[in-house]
Amino acid sequence: MAQFVKQLAQWAIVAIAATMVSPMAAIARPLHEIQEIAQATTVLIDGLNPGSGVIVAQDRERYWVLTAQHVVATEDEYWIVAPDGAEYPLDYHSRKLFPETDLALVPFRSRRTYDIATLGDYPQLAGSFPSIFVSGWQGSNIHQQPLHHRLTGGQLLPRQYGLIHAQAPLSRGYGLFYTSTTEQGMSGGPILDTEGQVIGIHGRSEGEEFSSSAGLTRLHWGFSSGLPLPDNLTTQLRSPIRWRHQTQPPPPPSPSDRASYAALGASPQETPTDVAGWVNLGNQLYRQEQFEQALFAFEQALNQQPDLYQAWYGQAQVLSTLGDYPGALAAYSRVLTLQPDFSQALRDRALVQILAGQPERAVDDLDDVVQTTPQDYVAWYLRGNLFWKYQGWHEAALGSYDRALTLMPTFAEVWIERGRVLSELGRGQDAIASLQTATQLEPDLVDGWYWFAVILHAEQAPAAALAAIERGLAIAPDNLSYLLLEAQIWLQLQQPTVAQKRLQQVLQLAPTGSPQANAANQILQQL
């Protein structure tokens, strides 16, 4: 993830205040145990459009399966195929749908005993890049034998990174972004952490259907996305007799386990035979940070079909990650020549133009996006960030943020940035209200509590600021930004002893010579 980390740090129009240091603990599960857990709890949902699901609860002879709502969206005759191959009818009218979220609970009845997945109900911390796995029944239905269960490895991307790169990332509750390569039939399957705990439900992989001489296939680009566990899951279940849940994240894996996880996502050895195969291989290699190999794959696709804009887009993504901004801009421009209405490429080109020191051109691109695709709330968000952080146009930034919130009122990141702009304009109470909304929408968003504390501190509300810091530290106990801010507040409250403890904690966690360590030392010298 080194290159993705580097690129994330360069996306300066997205504010990331959190600095996380992961504590070391016991060893996570080896791969074969995760595979066993996944296969024992993942079911096939057979119907009009076969998908997957995971057993999450049992009430006597009734089991409950959590899946993506779109898997069971159309009334049909559905069957649950359990991990042992047994088939059970699904009562379509007994579904429990989650409002405004692409999630559903579906029941089946059996006298057999099936394993129940453990739910990992803990915050997904930005910047940690934990290993994850997606489990599902690839392209399967009950008429295909043998059924093919698949477990794919990858890494969970920071939320901010996914927000600026994904198509409509927050629609229908999507908020998890990851590098796992997924296939048709895996929608609705569980996203597992390195303890085998379910942290979400897989929903989609970006791309589109493509017709070639080999037939209809799907071209992949970008990343996969899924849905975090809903807060009201247990309410929907109505206190089942059996269900499992864990509130602690898994410990870091051992080097050997990490190597086995990486091998799980290794690219296939077969050489593709058509352009679709080369594009999909390129995307898979890109996700695995095998960038030179990915470029080769996209070049092979373009050698066969020079006007294939999907291959140009994949090439542009790789080049931008590598920091070859002129090459990336040329590739994005080629994409838009071939496919002028591909607004995602226009949005991505704007980001690269910022990195290349061309913010004025980035404004032009984002203006084009919101004119041609006015419902693109991510573009309005990025436009607001650009106006504020690169142009100093606070009022114009507020206008863009408000437009984004009109389209997507639950976009917590916009509420955060909007609050920061309001604070700089001297509208402290409005800023506080904006951050309150952000933290209510996303209580586990680390940046939300941090900036809330910063603004409360600026508005001379130290007690409220300390309370916000406490909420943030409950999510990320070793967050250096929080600890530094807390130390400064205690100093202003004439509590140097407490401040010193926090600064010493920073020095224990921060690498020597890091900005956080230097800041802590500078404050200590003044005591």
Same domain, 134 and 58: yes
| Residue type (1 letter), 194 | T
Residue 140 maps to a domain: yes
Instruction: Give me the mean pLDDT over the 273-290 stretch.
Output: 91
Residue 43 maps to a domain: yes
Same domain, 51 and 146: yes
- Give residue 32's pLDDT: 93
Return the higher-pLDDT residue of 265 and 223: 223
- Give residue 214's pLDDT: 63
From 198, 152, 187, select the one nearest 51 (Cα to Cα): 187
DSSP per residue, 321-384: HHT-HHHHHHHHHHHHHH-TT-HHHHHHHHHHHHHTT-HHHHHHHHHHHHHH-TT-HHHHHHHH
User: Is the pLDDT score of 122 beyond 60?
Assistant: yes
Same domain, 73 and 176: yes
Give the lowest-confidence range in 92-101, 236-245, 387-396, 473-482: 236-245
Domain boundary among 227, 248, 269: 248
Residue 206 near residue 223, CB atoms below 8 Å: yes
DSSP per residue, 48-91: SS-EEEEEEEEETTEEEEEEEGGGG-S---EEEE-TTS-EEEE-
| Residue 242, both tokens | 């059996």
Same domain, 427 and 513: no
| Residue 196, both tokens | 């085998």
What CATH number corresponds to the domain at position 455?
1.25.40.10
Whole-model pTM: value is: 0.87
The total number of residues shown for the chain amounts to 527
Return the higher-pLDDT residue of 516 and 331: 331
Residue 378 maps to a domain: no
Same domain, 435 and 491: no
Give the lowest-confidence range in 164-168, 301-305, 476-480: 164-168
User: How many domains does one find in the chain?
Assistant: 3
Residue 3 maps to a domain: no
Domain boundary among 214, 248, 282: 248
Whole-angstrom distance, CA of residue 384 vs CA of residue 403 = 10
- Give residue 472's pLDDT: 93
Given pLDDT bands bounded at 50, 70 and 90, which one contains residue 93?
confident
- Give residue 150's pLDDT: 92
Same domain, 128 and 69: yes
Instruction: Give me the mean pLDDT over the 130-156 stretch.
Output: 82
Residue 25 near residue 252, CB atoms below 8 Å: yes
303-308, long-range: CB < 8 A, 24+ apart? 304/274, 304/275, 304/278, 305/275, 307/338, 308/275, 308/279
Q: How far is CA 374 from CA 169, 284, 380, in A?
A: 16, 31, 8
User: Is the pLDDT score of 170 beyond 50?
Assistant: yes
- Give residue 253's pLDDT: 85
Whole-angstrom distance, CA of residue 273 vs CA of residue 514 = 49
- Give residue 221's pLDDT: 83
Residue 519 maps to a domain: yes
DSSP per residue, 228-287: EPPTTHHHHHTS-SB-EEE-SPPPPPPHHHHHHHHHHTPPPSSPP-SHHHHHHHHHHHHH
Whole-angstrom distance, CA of residue 430 vs CA of residue 452 = 12
DSSP 170: T
pLDDT one-digit tens code per residue, 304-350: 999 999 999 999 999 999 999 999 999 999 999 999 989 899 999 99
Give the lowest-confidence range in 247-261, 272-286, 332-346, 348-362: 247-261
- Give residue 409's pLDDT: 94
Residue-averaged pLDDT of the chain: 88
Residue 373 near residue 342, CB atoms below 8 Å: no
Structural domain boundaries enclosing 499 = 478-527
User: Is the pLDDT score of 399 beyond 50?
Assistant: yes
User: Is the pLDDT score of 512 beyond 50?
Assistant: yes
pLDDT one-digit tens code per residue, 12-45: 454 434 333 333 344 579 999 999 999 999 999 9
- Give residue 450's pLDDT: 96
- Give residue 16's pLDDT: 39
What burial class does residue 332 get, using C-beta atoms within 10 Å of its C-beta: 0-12 exposed, 13-18 middle, 19+ buried? buried
User: Is the pLDDT score of 10 beyond 90?
Assistant: no
What are 66's strand-pairing partners?
54, 105
pLDDT one-digit tens code per residue, 423-475: 999 999 999 999 999 999 999 888 999 999 999 999 999 999 999 999 999 88
Whole-angstrom distance, CA of residue 63 vs CA of residue 111 = 10
Same domain, 453 and 520: no
Residue 215 maps to a domain: yes
Same domain, 445 and 483: no
Domain boundary among 184, 216, 248: 248
Tell me if residue 6 falls in helix, strand or coil.
helix
Given pLDDT bands bounded at 50, 70 and 90, which one contains residue 229?
very high
- Give residue 23's pLDDT: 35
Other beta carbons less than 10 A from residue 99's beta carbon: 8
Same domain, 484 and 424: no
In the numeric block, the tokens 């804009």 are attached to 309
Torsion from C-alpha of 442, 448, 453, 456, nearest 10 degrees: -80
- Give residue 128's pLDDT: 63
Check the CA dihedral 276-278-284-289 and report its sign.
Answer: negative
Contacts of 13 (CB under 8 A, 6+ apart): 351, 354, 382, 385, 386, 389, 390
Given pLDDT bands bounded at 50, 70 and 90, which one contains residue 124?
low
Whole-angstrom distance, CA of residue 220 vs CA of residue 342 = 15
Whole-angstrom distance, CA of residue 222 vs CA of residue 53 = 24
Residue 524 maps to a domain: yes
User: Is the pLDDT score of 98 beyond 60?
Assistant: yes
